[in-house]
Amino acid sequence: MEAKNNMQPASKRGTNGRTRSAKWELKLYVAGQTAKSLQAFSNLKVICEEHLAGEYRIEIIDLLQNPQLAKGDQIFALPTLVRKLPEPVRKIIGDLSNTERVLVGLDLQPRPSAAAI
């Protein structure tokens, strides 16, 4: 589980040195270290560093280890990024490769229809 080791420090890095009440609380649900989940994590990291530097905390939840957690956040697709904070809760599924849509999903950017042209 080398990849996992890559990811966990990352999540810690997100919270490291920050107050408990980070403004952005994100949860990334994955199932093991698949290509998609690794991709999602690295994409997320880039986006967060770019837009939310110092204000975010990422928690990685591996459903293979904690399958019961899927129910609580209504996870059905993987990978899924859940924005727990700020409210309201938003869900973004996929490997987060479409940055535009991730930003829309995180409410960091208005919907494309409104932002068109």
Partner 1 sequence: MRSTKSKPAPFPKCPTGIHGLDEITLGGLPRGRPTLVCGGAGCGKTLLGMEFLVRGATEFNEPGVCLSFEETADELATNVASLGFDLATLIAHKKLAIDHVYLERSLIEETGEYDLEALFVRLGHAVDSIGAKRVLLDSIEALFGGLEGQSVLRAELRRLFRWLKERGLTTVVTGERGQATLTRHGLEEYLSDCVILLDHQVTETVLTRRLRVVKYRGSTHGMNEYPFLIESDGISVLPVTSMDLKYGVCNERASTGVPDLDTMFGGHGYFRGSSILVSGTSGTGKTSLTAHFADAACARGEKCVFFSFEESAAQIMRNMRSIGINLKRWVDKGLLHFHSVRPTTFGLEMHLVKIHKIIKQFNPSIVVVDPVTGLLHAGTPFETRSILLRLIDFLKEKQITALLTTLTGGSNAQEQTEIDISSLVDAWLLLRDIESGGERNRGIYILKARGVAHSNQIREFLLTNHGVELREVYLGEVGLLTGSARVTQEAKDASAAMLGRQEIERKQLLLQRKRVVLDSQIAALQLDLETEEQESQQLIAQEKLKVAQWERDRGDMANSRFVNQRSHEGNGRSTKANGGQK
Q: Does 94 bind partner 1 (CB under 8 A)?
A: yes
Query: In 3D, which of 46, 42, 38 has the Cα closest to residue 62?
Result: 38
Please select the residue that binds partner 1; options are 38, 42, 90, 109, rule is CB under 8 A.
Answer: 90
Q: Hey, what are 68's tokens? A: 């019961």
Q: Is 14 near partner 1 (CB under 8 A)?
A: no
Contact 27, 61 (CB under 8 A): yes
Question: Per DSSP, what are the bridge partners of residue 85?
Answer: 25
Contacts with partner 1 by CB under 8 A: the residue count is: 33
Contact status: 21 vs partner 1 (CB under 8 A) = no
Report yes or no: 56 and 22 within 8 Å, Cβ to Cβ.
Answer: yes
- Interacting stretch for partner 1, rule CB under 8 A, among 4-12, 17-25, 51-59, 72-80? 72-80
Q: Which is nearer to partner 1, 57 or 95 (CB)?
A: 95
26 is an interface residue for partner 1 by CB under 8 A? no
Q: Does 19 bind partner 1 (CB under 8 A)?
A: no
CA atoms within 13 A on the CB side of 85: 12
By C-alpha distance, which of 58, 80, 61, 79 is closest to 13? 58
Q: What is the binding site for partner 1 (CB under 8 A)?
A: 29, 31, 36, 39-40, 43, 63-64, 67-68, 70-71, 74-80, 89-98, 101-102, 104-105
